[in-house]
Amino acid sequence: MDDILFTHKLLPLKIIKGKDNTLDIIVKVENRSDKERLMSVEAEIKTDGIIGFDPSFINKKTSVKIGTLQPFSRKEVAIRLFASPNTAEKTYEIALYLIEHYYDYSKVLHVYRRNVSVMVV
């Protein structure tokens, strides 16, 4: 993983009930090698609750195709998380998977994982 930089940030830092009930997980991927890489990101909510990747809170998993990263380039993708005014106030755990593919998106070469904690207050 020395030649792949995989970081994330939350905008805003937490979800405040009764206000804007969305949060973006910004995933940044940097290719530090001299070869092209086909990448995608998956996110999965691990904690039960009224929270999801769509306004109806049905989807607990989502996937974003980043595309081909050229040598020494970087890309950012945003994953939107929705909460309800009835969402319980607690910390929700989300697993982020950065997937490196071979040839097309059906073939997996490497998987990198990060855990994200999202607070609802």
Mind listing the pLDDT tens digit for each residue in 13-65? Answer: 999 887 768 999 999 999 999 999 999 999 999 999 999 999 999 999 999 99
Residue 52, beta-bridge partner list: 82
Residue ranges and CATH numbers for the domains of the chain are 4-116 (2.60.40.10)
Q: Are strands 108-120 and 91-101 parallel, antiparallel or unpaired?
A: antiparallel
Query: Tokens for 89?
Result: 């106030």
Whole-angstrom distance, CA of residue 98 vs CA of residue 2: 14
Whole-model pTM above 0.85? yes
Cβ-contact 100, 37 below 8 angstroms: yes
pLDDT per residue as tens digits for the range 88-117: 999 999 999 999 999 899 999 999 999 999
Written as one letter, the residue type at 25 is I
